[in-house]
Amino acid sequence: MYWVDWGERPRIERAGMDGDAATRQTLIDSQLYWPNGLTVDFTEARIYWTDVKLRYIHSARLDGTDRRVVVAAGMLPHPVTLTLHDDSVYWADWQTHAIYVCSKRQSSADVAQPRVVATDIRQSTDLRPYDESRQLHGAYCITTVLLLIFVLLPWRATTVHMVQKMWYLNSSFRSRSECNL
């Protein structure tokens, strides 16, 4: 598992899931202030993260080597969380209340060209891509996702709005009969 820590000594760490303390490793501990969002790219064996204070998105190999700039420091107002889909990185920004996207493949000469994909998004703490290639098929489809949202999230009007948006986004990938609704 991987995590960020922005306490007295900001760092990105990893450890095995077996509880063995010997597997705990600090991967990144420089040029960090408030590392926040973290996601793993299993296809390319890299981690991606945001830093809220330094206002950037960087990536590195799963062992912490080969650190790369995705979006340069100071370019983002308040990047909180991020996710990946295909060759793109998406992130939520708490200051602009928007979700952005740009290519995850920046060369040293490129300047990231983020674009807005959603607005009026307040206090997003997590982003997850929903694509047919990443979804379970059959009985566990959207019905299970909707039930889990209602069970795990505190009841608020925004929860209903989020569920409606998720149903709209996912309904384009599935027919009612496929989901047994």
> Mean pLDDT across the chain, nearest whole number?
75
Pair of tokens at residue 28: 């990144």
- From residue 45, give the alpha-carbon distance in Å to each of 7, 27, 63, 92: 26, 14, 9, 23
- DSSP-based three-state secondary structure for 38: strand
Q: What is the pLDDT of residue 32?
A: 94
pTM here is: 0.70
Q: What is the pLDDT of residue 3?
A: 94
List the chain domain ranges: 2-129, 130-181
Residue 144: pLDDT band with limits 50, 70, 90 = very low
CATH of span 2-129: 2.120.10.30
Q: What is the pLDDT of residue 175?
A: 38
Q: For residues 169 and 156, is the Cβ–Cβ distance under 8 A?
A: no
Residue 145: pLDDT band with limits 50, 70, 90 = very low
- From residue 70, give the alpha-carbon distance in Å to each of 51, 97, 148: 12, 21, 33
CA pair distance 110, 112, nearest whole angstrom = 6
